[in-house]
Structure 1
Amino acid sequence: MIRYSTAETLPALLADMSSLGDHPAVVDGDERVGYRELETRVHEASRAYLAAGVRRGDRVAVWAPNRLGFILAMLGAEAIGAAVVPLNTRYTGHEAAGILARSRACVLVLADGFLDRSFSRMLCDAAAELEDADGAGEGGAVPGLPHLRLLVGLDSRPVGDAALDWESFLATGRSVDDATLASALGAVDRDDVIDILYTSGTTGVPKGVMSAHRQTLGVARAWAKGAELSTEDRYAIVNPFFHGFGYKAGMIAALVAGSTIYPLPVLDADALLELIQRERITVLPGVPTIFTTLIDHPRLKEYDLSSLRFSIAGATAAPATLFRDMVGILGFQRVAQAYGLTECVVATMSRQGESLDHAQQTTGPAIEGMEIRVVDEEGNDVPTGSDGEILLRGEQVMLGYFEDPEATSAVIDEDGWFHTGDIGQLDEHGCLKITDRLKDMFIVGGFNVYPAEVENVLRKHPAVNESAVIGVPDRRLGTVGRAYVALLSDLDHRPDAAELTAFCRERLANFKVPHDFVFVDDFPRNATGKILKTELRVA
């Protein structure tokens, strides 16, 4: 059945979809939760937040991997009008403390022990240094973070002065009566802030991107429609819930359509292949690394993957043959692309019925309610097929950066256009092709070089799996290109730098050809699979 909820607040969405009764909403290992039960369990969490003094407009942070507990912790806060601040599970204690301080989150729900790390101990140690350095006040659950009143551990009691395990936390909510809960649920407005997603921080201090309930649900609905999600779909979500890809295009999109969520905390190829076969998974989006890992799996042919229906291979550049391999080897019926940023999680998406080749080359046209322009340095629209900066305007563009009007006005102009900093072009169908990031551009002898263009050429070499091009200082030209290259495994012939140089010279102007090549086994990446070029630049 295909039916997309038109709810514009999170509590209204849960109430709407509870009509699906026992239809599974979340399957996490041996635990299966139906849609009616999901609403009940979310409300249990909401009561506990209310008992802890959380009110509409407060911030609640969640620091955990993909799992049922994350879903309950997030939705329970959002259902009573609190804004959720998800924390990257790869954060250090210092990074988490910094975001908790900036957001002034009053409650933190975390999963101690994930990846063999105690999040609460890391946080307490880092916050103690913050207190010493900044003279931050006392009185919170963690000295140095005075606004943080409570730590809640999903599996055990965290380290901290005011801490509870999840079951004890839920028990506190039994003191909250039905009328108080109903009042809190009913007070949530479509324009209330539902989440604050902090940018990756690869270009400086992370900024908190605010979205309203109507926006997060609108993004999810647009993605669900583009993917043709239905109640028959079983959606394996490897993309982390702390990121818009796993959260809005994942968790919330599935709930909007009544699909079943299968949360996966880490990418384990064996476990994922077994899950696809056992549960007949139909939807599996992700970064290209996920699919190349499955394609290269030595026992791939032993698994039945015939249930796979839809995927988006997004968030980073894909190998030239990936889409065809996803169809021909993994068996997906449809593979698409989408384009978005933290500030606008879904802006474009491949059209239904799109050819495979065109879907790989472009990210599709603007979704409903969004506009796109591609402009030159003076802000003038460039011709079709020409490069320029991508501007977005519409319903899904962020409200702004949390308590940072200066940074907000720097990227959203007076006419409401969000300046993405991405370089791209529109084709004759209005479909967007991403060319590069403005920040990654470097100048060789006075000529602009966009790394993605060079990377796209390298990807065409039959031995190259992935590459990352950066600019490095050069005494004569100011800057020259350096290419970090990962080759395919099991090659009969491994090219050297001279061969790749000759290959590039055949396809690129001389100033675009990398000055040197560094061969690597893999790249530094963030938790969503993106290559961290900032780390390559300091290597």
Structure 2
Amino acid sequence: MTAPIWEKAYVPGVTWAIDLPTEPVQSLIDDAVRQWPDNIVTDFMGKTISYREMGAMIDKAAAGFQKLGVGPGVHVGLFLPNSPHYIVAFFGVLKAGGTIVNYSPLDAAKTLEHKIEDSHTDFIVTLNLNALYPQMAGMLGKTRVKKLIVGNLPEVLPFPKSLLYPLVKSKDIAKVPADDRHLTFKQLLDNDGRYTPHPIADTKEAVAVLQYTGGTTGLPKGAMLTHYNLMAAQTMLRAMNQGTNPLLEEGRETVLAVLPLFHIYALTVIMTLGIAGGARLILHPRFELEAVMTDLVKKKPTMFPGVPTMYSAILGHPKIAEFDLSSLKFCASGGAPLPVEVQERFQQVTGCRLLEGWGMTETSPAGTSTPNTGKIVKGACGVPLPGIEMKIVDVADNTKDMATGEIGEITIRGPNVMKGYWNKPEATAAAFTSDGFFLTGDTGFFDEDGYLHIVDRTKDMITSGGFNVYPRLIEEAIYELGIADEVTVIGIPDEYRGEAAKAFIKLSAGASELDIETLRGKLKDRLGKHELPAEVEYRDSLPKTIVGKLTKKELVEEERAKRAGKKTAGA
């Protein structure tokens, strides 16, 4: 392929054509241990672990997993928050020859059961916390899971926290039986670290991770991410930082790891990318504003990948002006569209560029990134990464390419794109065009410089009076009014137009509610008549996913149930 239009947007010295590694994912930790043995890899509540120490723990985990029977074809689930256990188990399973299946603590029991059976998970690693263990304990005897490997936080906490934690947090700790269906994490690592390597003949075919999609349109599907996919994704991201004046220095960066590692965004942008560069990962089990602000000041991270709601929360801190955030030099936003207002305010407050990107579970999640140049393109999520091909096709006919500036469905092809959906050949076939581009389900357009502008998800698009209405455009217009911290817009039934827009708003501090007519009046110069919301509802909080991304699913279901109830009552 000849150099694409967006290559000219890259930092000088960065090219679209790159060499991609064929080594397995576990080579990342081995290379890091050799290159930076004394660097700190994790900082968890003050407890630090060096790359040398982490490497030894991973080798012991690999040997322990093999003793359990883990090898090629065996799937091991990780049901863990951000703690050193996750990194040890992740690379330990891969070194043992197994495949990782990531599970979310927010999954309902029915969803967990489906994923276990669908993915053929035989072992699951978790912690002895009431927020985690009981959910997986309920799967024993009910599903194919053979054994739970259960860790605890004191084993990865510094003294005296390790001593005090069971006393202070006793209400959070679950009772775990000592039987043949349970193994402690300490027992898993109780060996000499000698494991049997399983060389991978073809990393393009060997699946490293089964990463389940959100399941917003039915049961979740397992995206088969190969070793080649995941290695390509982090290589593409690293390549974007090359050139004449690299922003990041290998072996010298500190990453604030708040996004959950079991989510594909964090798995690649924080864990594999960070370890590939010898970075220190400050692990947070969840996003808690005060804890995040404390570490931003005291531990001075240089990198902070997040989602828009996290940046909004930081900006909304009542003492934001008192915090020194000058250590930040790379902040990335993904997972959801970044409101322009949030981006501009964050950059003003911190002095750090907030670079937006786009990706999906199925793309590992490499896709686009904003080059760290002086160029600012409002509303764009960057340009395709090196090695990636993208084009816009007609939503109704994916054989028809759209011209520059025309809205259509975004498609992507590259070494980072999944092998397919696990045990779902029909869904896999339907997800790709005849020329091998993955159909993302997102709509958008490319501008003349190759910057991608996301408009919306095709499934979220509202058809109002025959016109296509994109919720994101309405959300952006409301953000511009300066009254909202968070906005979500969905489609609701409308007798006259078929569908209409309804806005859900979490107000900014000091802002007052506007009735629907006043809101429409303030938006009429920003939106077309068919785009103006028909209803508005104000809430103290809006539904979010595990990574903090605003989600429409719950609101759509609420509105459907509400209207069904009214119809029944009036019948």
TM-score over 0.5 (shorter chain): yes
Letter in 2 for 1:361: G
User: Which of 205, 216, 219 is residue 233 of structure 2 equivalent to?
Assistant: 219
User: Which of 250, 253, 257 is residue 237 of structure 1 equivalent to?
Assistant: 257
Residues 36-435 of structure 1 correspond to what in structure 2 (within 5 A)? 36-113=52-129, 116-117=130-131, 119-125=132-138, 127=139, 142-146=140-144, 148-155=145-152, 158=176, 162-171=181-190, 173-174=191-192, 178=194, 181-184=195-198, 186-187=199-200, 189-191=202-204, 192-226=206-240, 228-229=247-248, 230-332=250-352, 334-344=353-363, 345-355=365-375, 357-358=376-377, 360-376=378-394, 377-379=396-398, 380-435=400-455
Aligned to 1:13: 28
Larger relative contact order (C-alpha < 8 A, sep ≥ 6)? Answer: 2
Structure 1: distance between partners of 2:430 and 2:424:
10
Secondary structure at the counterpart of residue 433 of structure 1:
strand
Q: CA deviation at 1:198?
A: 0.3
Q: CA deviation at 1:415?
A: 1.5
TM-score, normalised by the number of residues in structure 1: 0.90
Aligned to 1:453: 473
Structure 1: distance between partners of 2:288 and 2:239:
29
Letter in 1 for 2:150: G
**Per-residue Cα deviation, 1:188-232 (whole angstroms, up to 9, x for no partner):** 752311101101112210000111112112212222343544211
Residues 57 and 193 in structure 1, CA contact (< 8 A), matched pair in contact too:
no
Structure 1: distance between partners of 2:58 and 2:124:
16
**Per-residue Cα deviation, 1:483-512 (whole angstroms, up to 9, x for no partner):** 112221123x54332221112222222222
**Per-residue Cα deviation, 1:102-161 (whole angstroms, up to 9, x for no partner):** 111111001232xx42x3322344x4xxxxxxxxxxxxxx11212x22101111774686
Secondary structure at the counterpart of residue 215 of structure 1:
helix
Residues 40 and 51 in structure 2, CA contact (< 8 A), matched pair in contact too:
yes
Structure 1: distance between partners of 2:428 and 2:458:
18
Structure 2: distance between partners of 1:268 and 1:97:
29
**Per-residue Cα deviation, 1:69-114 (whole angstroms, up to 9, x for no partner):** 111111110123311111112122322222111111111001232x
Residues 78 and 125 in structure 2, CA contact (< 8 A), matched pair in contact too:
yes
Residues 482 and 515 in structure 1, CA contact (< 8 A), matched pair in contact too:
yes
Residues 102 and 262 in structure 2, CA contact (< 8 A), matched pair in contact too:
yes
Residues 26 and 262 in structure 1, CA contact (< 8 A), matched pair in contact too:
yes
Residues 5 and 17 in structure 1, CA contact (< 8 A), matched pair in contact too:
no
Change (3 A) 1:189 1:154: farther
Residues 484 and 517 in structure 1, CA contact (< 8 A), matched pair in contact too:
yes
**Per-residue Cα deviation, 1:259-281 (whole angstroms, up to 9, x for no partner):** 11111111111111221222221
Q: CA deviation at 1:254?
A: 0.2
Secondary structure at the counterpart of residue 217 of structure 1:
helix
Query: Gapped runs of 5+ residues in structure 2?
Result: 1-18, 153-173, 242-246, 559-571
Structure 2: distance between partners of 1:353 and 1:498:
42
Secondary structure at the counterpart of residue 328 of structure 1:
helix
Structure 1: distance between partners of 2:201 and 2:107:
31
Aligned to 1:528: 547
Aligned to 2:525: 506
Q: CA deviation at 1:452?
A: 1.4
Q: CA deviation at 1:363?
A: 1.5
Q: CA deviation at 1:187?
A: 4.5
Structure 2: distance between partners of 1:372 and 1:99:
31
Q: CA deviation at 1:7?
A: 6.5
TM-score, normalised by the number of residues in structure 2: 0.85
Residues 10 and 79 in structure 1, CA contact (< 8 A), matched pair in contact too:
no
Change (3 A) 1:124 1:532: same
Letter in 2 for 1:368: P
1:470 equivalenced with 2:493 (yes/no): no
Residues 5 and 16 in structure 1, CA contact (< 8 A), matched pair in contact too:
no
Structure 2: distance between partners of 1:340 and 1:23:
30
Query: Gapped runs of 5+ residues in structure 1?
Result: 128-141
Change (3 A) 1:183 1:267: closer
**Per-residue Cα deviation, 1:504-537 (whole angstroms, up to 9, x for no partner):** 2222222221111111122111111222212111
Letter in 1 for 2:474: V
Residues 97 and 123 in structure 1, CA contact (< 8 A), matched pair in contact too:
no
Letter in 2 for 1:76: G
Secondary structure at the counterpart of residue 79 of structure 1:
helix
Secondary structure at the counterpart of residue 469 of structure 1:
strand
Q: CA deviation at 1:328?
A: 1.7
Residues 305 and 330 in structure 1, CA contact (< 8 A), matched pair in contact too:
yes
Structure 2: distance between partners of 1:151 and 1:55:
17
Structure 1: distance between partners of 2:115 and 2:176:
19
Residues 81 and 194 in structure 1, CA contact (< 8 A), matched pair in contact too:
no
Secondary structure at the counterpart of residue 403 of structure 2:
coil
Structure 1: distance between partners of 2:339 and 2:115:
35
Change (3 A) 1:72 1:22: same
Residues 220 and 253 in structure 1, CA contact (< 8 A), matched pair in contact too:
yes
Q: CA deviation at 1:68?
A: 0.7
Letter in 2 for 1:402: W
User: Which of 471, 479, 482 is residue 499 of structure 2 equivalent to?
Assistant: 479
Letter in 2 for 1:520: R
Pairwise CA RMSD of aligned residues?
2.0
Q: CA deviation at 1:239?
A: 0.9
Change (3 A) 1:183 1:266: closer
Letter in 1 for 2:410: I
